């Protein structure tokens, strides 16, 4: 009985400490991978990952996610890998004078206390050469590489182009 009471008290302390959040720190979603995991770069949180499969076989897919840096020196995302695809390229969409363009970028800056969203109409990751293993409703891993070689990963929901947040730039 005493063991059960101690176990319950320990669980309660853990739950309460998890609810405390520092001011100015973005709240990750339930699908977040916290930066305390050994696989992730210190201070970096990657969350809200979504991978949209190509509408037509042989065409590119796209990945969206949010990356936050809680502390440390400014960093740059210099590469992205998505399981199930041979190649991934970071791109940025812009609209100027009523004309939308999309171009590859080699790096995306992130600053302490800030988040960068890879989303439709902004930064995103174009995915090439799908291996055919991914199906809508599954998950896959998205991994970013920073300019200092550190990495951070999260699980991303796999969906078809008709899913929520469909690509608006293809």
Q: What is the pLDDT of residues 140-158, one digit of tens each?
A: 999 999 999 999 999 999 9
CATH architecture, domain 31-159:
Sandwich (2.60)
Q: CA angle 140-25-47, nearest 5°?
A: 5
Between β-strands 108-110 and 61-69, what pairing exists: parallel, antiparallel or unpaired?
A: unpaired
DSSP label of 14: H
Q: Which of 52, 138, 131 has its CA nearest to residue 85?
A: 131
Q: Report CA 146 to chain centroid distance, whole Å.
A: 13
Reported as a pLDDT band with limits 50, 70 and 90, residue 38 is very low
Mean of pLDDT values over 32-51: 72
The domains of the chain are located at 31-159
pTM: 0.72
Portion of the chain with pLDDT greater than 70, in percent: 72
């Amino acid at each position: 009985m005493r063991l059960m009471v101690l176990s319950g008290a320990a669980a309660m302390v853990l739950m309460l400490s998890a609810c405390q959040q520092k001011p100015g720190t973005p709240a990750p979603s339930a699908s977040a991978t916290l930066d305390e995991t050994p696989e992730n770069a210190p201070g970096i949180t990657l969350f809200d990952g979504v991978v949209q499969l190509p509408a037509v076989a042989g065409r590119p897919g796209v990945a969206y996610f949010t990356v936050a840096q809680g502390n440390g020196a400014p960093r740059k995302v210099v590469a992205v890998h998505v399981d199930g695809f041979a190649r991934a390229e970071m791109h940025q969409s812009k609209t100027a004078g009523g004309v939308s363009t999309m171009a590859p970028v080699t790096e995306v800056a992130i600053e302490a206390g800030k988040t960068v969203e890879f989303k439709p109409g902004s930064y995103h990751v174009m995915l090439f050469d799908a291996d055919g293993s991914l199906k809508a409703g599954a998950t896959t891993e998205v991994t970013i590489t920073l300019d200092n070689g550190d990495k951070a990963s999260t699980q991303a929901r796999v969906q078809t182009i008709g899913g929520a947040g469909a690509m608006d730039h293809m």
